[in-house]
Structure 1
Amino acid sequence: MAKQIKHALVIGGGVAGPVTAMALQQAGIEATVHEAYQGDAVGVGAGLGLAPNGLAALDVIGAGDLVRALGDPMQSIVLQSWNGKRLAEFGSPGRLEPTRLVMRSDLYQALYDEALRRGIRIEHGKKLVGVDEQPGAVTAKFADGTTATGDLLIGADGIRSTVRGLIDPAAPSPRYAGLQGFGSMYAAAGVVPDTGGKMYMTFGKRAFFGLQVIDGQAVWFVNLPWAEPLSQPQAVARGAERWLAELATACAGDRTPAAELIRRTDPAHLMMTGPMESMPVVPHWSRDRLVLVGDSAHAPSSSSGQGASLAIESAVELAHCLRDLPLRQALARYEALRRPRVERIIKAAERTNSNKAAGPVGRVLRDALMPIGMRLISPEKMAWQFEHRIDWASPAAA
């Protein structure tokens, strides 16, 4: 057992932060989570898919069933063209449990509460502004003038990570996919029938639309092509009523319930999730006693359906390696295990985004060629994404 790391500073209190702290605790390493915002993230974010591999990673730290209770099964995803033509249908291989549709706010709250229940300290209002590195230790410096010292500093601070820039000032910035994200829930009884555990996704003429109806509740989202990225605050400032009109117009020519659901949505219930982005390849995941986990290192676009699951996997794998190996070897092994997998998924999501933002000619080619291409991709060929498991019981190899 490697005993170099006794206390870790986890920067970021979203989804990856509490999972990282719980995994470290299970590995015998104390962790404190430092969150930049004064308040929590209850009510922030739309729905997301938690894939079988993400649930399995949560099982390693005893939190899988906690999350399963929150969501609804997504048995498969049905891809359609704007005129209702079915392009493809795919899901997890039948031997695996289905992906679960979970509201990000619910996931955050459950993991946050569980971390507190396990005795993990979460401090708010701790915006990281710099670090002071000493032999055998690292000190985090926060905007409020306070500091904290530990054996390792872990950046779980998202796609706009401060820690990433401290590790490598030349690190890339997020890449905009040309799409803005929106979503909501609507009591759809009598408007849209239950979708039978399936998520229907439509490549519309002017926007990409997703819909799943569960027990009379329609969970919908729209990816709207938009030339320049708008931050979430900028999108909010533009006004929910204005966006709903824009979204309804964008979906009006498609043979889907999109325009009707959007027109019926209360502006107060519209969720504006900001620009759809992904991270280009991040050359350096660690330096000395600094390391990245989750979106700070590998943020796939939401089109991947794997963002939260990959972040959870990486948090658990990092703790696994730190448990068994000296620090330098642990960080090298962690990156070697994770980088090929996450970069393969990021590339696949980028191809999906290019289809969502296709122009008139590209749309015709996409709709003609996608059914042919999808026939060549069986669920078994996609199983590598969902079957990934972390062997916590076995020592992490150097």
Structure 2
Amino acid sequence: MAPTRTAIVVGGGIAGPVAALALRRAGIEATVHEAHDGTADGVGGALSIAPNGRAALDLVGLDRVGEPMNAIVLQNHRGRTVTEIRQPMQFTWRADLYRRLYDLAVGAGVRVHHGQRLVDVSESATGVRAVFADGSVSEEADVLVGADGIRSTVRRLIDPAAPEPRYSGLLGFGARVEGVGLPPTGDRMYMAFGRRAFFGYQSFADGSGVWFANLPHPYAGWDEVRKTPNEEWLHRLAGAFSGDAVPALELLRRTAPADLVSSGPMEDLPHVPQWHRGRMVLVGDSAHATSPSSGQGASLAAESAVELARALRDLPYRQAFAAYERARRARVERVIAEAHRTNSGKAAGPVGRLVRDALLPLFARMATPARTAWKFDHRIDWEARVLAA
């Protein structure tokens, strides 16, 4: 079987550019095809990059991004600190990370095509082509990489019976605030299990800050979230944190409705049975979407993109896809399951909240560096050869 020389990457968000950059480093020419007509500047909320994610991004040429977030101070609704968990993370905005990766990919010679929504794929003995909604067809390539997110079209083409995303019971909101009126928290992010919702914030030396909230709510799709005015969401959030001894109400009051960012329903994909078929393969959220509560979504996407590129560098595509999945599945599904348990605590009912609050100190004591090393200390050896099963 001939070596892989070219790739079509479907999806131009976070995973897509990382995959294209990693493939290019592996000697594989990749083109990115994005459904939206333009770039995603200014789109999306905040996210964190873990040490394992920073290491993977460094392999494709992206250096430090965002602000240091080296500890999480966990509090209850009374404002009492339960524990401080040391975690060397970077806090950034999705739009900033996207722009850095986009510029890096284009600067490296990656061609990015906008306004190309995938509807079908045609495969032959020699390659694969992507068919788009406007009737256009891509050039033939050796493989097609689906990096098109949690509602991936490529996933459905690989397996029409593929599972749909699982809703956590939470909606995500957040904002950047120029004048938070709070003392700087340094490199600490404060997070609180409120009586009715979950809240996190970090304030910086220049007087600005960020906050996010996870609001328990019956399922609401993106259309419903968007149709509800931001003023109404801010009002509902204020009601959810009324009576809690955390600065949520003050930060909500200082947030202009136009600045409110919604990440919509918080969802995951606990198990996608098929990651690849024929010349198609999945990467990032299309294969292993984890809830934002994991703090690992972008980091795992970067890891998988790098591992896929390494496998395609060293093996024919069929063997490469199998080796890539073998290297990734157990790790990502463990992170997804852990985040799901966290979400269950955030959306707990009255009795569940009592149990959760009683157990928080125990859970916090378990979050030691030794117990979390499997997640944060993971490193990929780019130079190591990938072997077939």
Deviation string 1:193-218 (CA, Å, 9 cap, x unpaired) is: 11121111111011100101122212
Deviation string 1:24-54 (CA, Å, 9 cap, x unpaired) is: 0010000000000001110011110001101
Deviation string 1:110-135 (CA, Å, 9 cap, x unpaired) is: 10011000110000010000011111
Aligned equivalents of 1:225, 1:71: Cα separation in 2: 28
CA contact (8 A) 2:179 2:254 kept: no
Aligned equivalents of 1:227, 1:234: Cα separation in 2: 11
**Equivalent position amino acid for 1:10 in 2:** V
Match of 1:83 in 2: 78
Correspondence 1:223 to 2:208: no
Deviation string 1:236-286 (CA, Å, 9 cap, x unpaired) is: 221011111111111111101101110221111111111000012000100
Aligned equivalents of 1:327, 1:364: Cα separation in 2: 51
Match of 2:352 in 1: 362
Match of 1:140 in 2: 130
Aligned equivalents of 1:89, 1:164: Cα separation in 2: 39
Matched residue count: 386
CA contact (8 A) 1:178 1:229 kept: no
Q: Give the Å deviation of 1:185.
A: 1.2
SS in 2 for 1:276: strand
Q: CA RMSD in A?
A: 1.1
Match of 1:8 in 2: 7
Match of 1:95 in 2: none
SS in 2 for 1:150: coil
Q: Give the Å deviation of 1:21.
A: 0.4
Q: Give the Å deviation of 1:3.
A: 5.0
Aligned equivalents of 1:61, 1:169: Cα separation in 2: 33
What are the residue-to-residue correspondences of 1:16-165 with 2, within 5 Å?
Answer: 16-63=15-62, 65=63, 68=64, 70-92=65-87, 98-148=88-138, 149-165=140-156
Q: TM-score, normalised to structure 1's length?
A: 0.95
Aligned equivalents of 1:331, 1:338: Cα separation in 2: 11
CA contact (8 A) 1:87 1:367 kept: no
Aligned equivalents of 1:3, 1:193: Cα separation in 2: 60
Q: Give the Å deviation of 1:80.
A: 1.1
Aligned equivalents of 1:3, 1:357: Cα separation in 2: 51
Structure 1 runs of 4+ with >3 Å offset: none
Correspondence 1:344 to 2:343: no
Aligned equivalents of 1:258, 1:170: Cα separation in 2: 42
CA contact (8 A) 1:188 1:213 kept: no
Correspondence 1:184 to 2:175: yes
CA contact (8 A) 1:180 1:230 kept: no
Aligned equivalents of 2:372, 2:270: Cα separation in 1: 22
Unpaired runs of 5+ in structure 2?
A: none
Deviation string 1:131-182 (CA, Å, 9 cap, x unpaired) is: 1111121111000110012110100000000000000011001000011111
Aligned equivalents of 2:116, 2:309: Cα separation in 1: 23
Aligned equivalents of 1:74, 1:373: Cα separation in 2: 20
Q: Give the Å deviation of 1:187.
A: 2.3
Aligned equivalents of 1:181, 1:377: Cα separation in 2: 24
Aligned equivalents of 1:12, 1:376: Cα separation in 2: 38
Aligned equivalents of 1:3, 1:46: Cα separation in 2: 42
CA contact (8 A) 2:270 2:337 kept: no
Unpaired runs of 5+ in structure 1?
A: 93-97
Match of 1:378 in 2: 368
Match of 1:237 in 2: 227
Aligned equivalents of 2:224, 2:272: Cα separation in 1: 27
Correspondence 1:283 to 2:273: yes
Identity of aligned residues (%): 57
SS in 2 for 1:78: strand
CA contact (8 A) 2:284 2:300 kept: yes
Aligned equivalents of 1:88, 1:349: Cα separation in 2: 19
Aligned equivalents of 1:244, 1:210: Cα separation in 2: 15
Q: TM-score, normalised to structure 2's length?
A: 0.97
**Equivalent position amino acid for 1:24 in 2:** L
What are the residue-to-residue correspondences of 1:305-320 with 2, within 5 Å?
Answer: 305-320=295-310
Q: 2:262 aligns with which of 272, 291, 294?
A: 272
